[in-house]
Amino acid sequence: MLEELSSIFDWFRELCGDRIQWEDKKLITGLARVGRARAVVIAFNPEQTPHPEAAFRKGIRMVKLAEKLGCPVLIVVGAKGERSPGKPSHDLIHFAEELFKSLLSAEVPVYSLSLGGKLGEIERLMLKAARPVELKELEKALLLERGERIC
């Protein structure tokens, strides 16, 4: 997933940890730049991970960071990889719903970028909180929200 993010953005700095207990790679989060535009990125990793609840807490932390910086949030979904079989657990759904609520109430724009891979149930949920954007239009969309300024 990090390789895919590096190919999308001109610059990407991963931010790790939920600041409570763990780091989990279910969500890859960080700061990114594409052209002159900047965004806080929350990217969904399709692989099974040991502490996905920590990843969703990290996602909520990233939404708060985006609000503090005044930068849009970009949700990246559809990465290539093997999805976990079956439905997500009740606990995992609960944590995903908390992130979804955070995205819906964000005081900054929330965009989504699909990489074309198969989407899981939670990724489809997150898309409902965001405006879709095409890769070729990414910089333009992010800059328009800021009135052509860099955040």
What pLDDT digit, counting tens, does each position of 43-68 carry? 998 877 777 888 888 999 999 999 99
Predicted structure pTM score: 0.89
What is the Cα–Cα distance from 96 to 11, expressed in whole angstroms? 27
Categorize the per-residue pLDDT at 79 as very low, low, confident or very high, splitting at 50, 70 and 90: confident
Strands (E), 2-77: 11-14, 27-34, 37-44, 73-77
- If you ran DSSP here, which 8-state letter would residue 148 be given? T
Between these two residues, 114 and 26, which has the higher pLDDT value? 114
| Domain annotation for the chain: domains and CATH numbers | 2-143 (3.90.226.10)
% residues pLDDT > 90 (the chain): 51
Q: What is the mean pLDDT of the chain?
A: 87
User: What does the chain come to in residues?
Assistant: 151
Is it the case that residue 149 has pLDDT exceeding 60?
Answer: no
Long-range contacts of 80-83 (CB under 8 A, 24+ apart): 80/4, 80/46, 80/115, 80/117, 81/1, 81/45, 81/46, 81/47, 81/117, 82/46, 82/47, 83/46, 83/118, 83/120
